[in-house]
Amino acid sequence: MDFNQLAEWERRAQEAQAKAAQALLRLVEAAEASDSGQARRVAGFLASTFNGAAYPFDLFELRALDVGLADDAMACIDALRWGKADLHKLIPDGERRIADLIKSWGLDRS
């Protein structure tokens, strides 16, 4: 592995994280503002990004989202792949907001 490859990976990771921050905010706002089936799927996806072991998410569910929401979910998945930061840390009060979504959508199994 050479320096150029490392620099390229770092650039891609930073770009993915920046896109994910905006996408995550849109997803959280969509799940907070609606009671639709799409919003429920978004909440389930967000819960899985917060703790995938506790809140597993069937990726097939992404097919039921409109294009914009699905694109935002894919941006979040890309940022998870690069692993620069926990997604919930990319938005203001992200941990609380996602925890509130988990509770309000009844996703907590404990």
On whether residue 77 sits in a domain, the answer given is: yes
Q: pLDDT confidence of 89, banded at 50, 70, 90?
A: very high
Q: pLDDT at position 110, please? A: 60
Q: Note whether 72 and 13 are within 8 A (CB).
A: no
On whether residue 17 sits in a domain, the answer given is: yes
Q: pLDDT at position 78, please? A: 95
Which amino acid belongs to residue 100?
D
Q: Note whether 73 and 81 are within 8 A (CB).
A: no
Average pLDDT over residues 88-106: 95
* Count: domains in the chain: 1
> What is this structure's pTM?
0.90
On whether residue 109 sits in a domain, the answer given is: no
As given in the structure block, the two tokens for residue 65 are: 């989202």
On whether residue 110 sits in a domain, the answer given is: no
Q: Which of 55, 52, 49 is nearest to 106 (CA)?
A: 55
C-alpha angle 29-24-14 in degrees, rounded to nearest 5: 155
On whether residue 30 sits in a domain, the answer given is: yes
Per-residue model confidence as pLDDT tens digits over 24-80: 999 999 999 988 889 999 999 999 999 999 999 999 999 999 999 999 999 999 999
**Domain containing residue 88:** 3-104
On whether residue 27 sits in a domain, the answer given is: yes
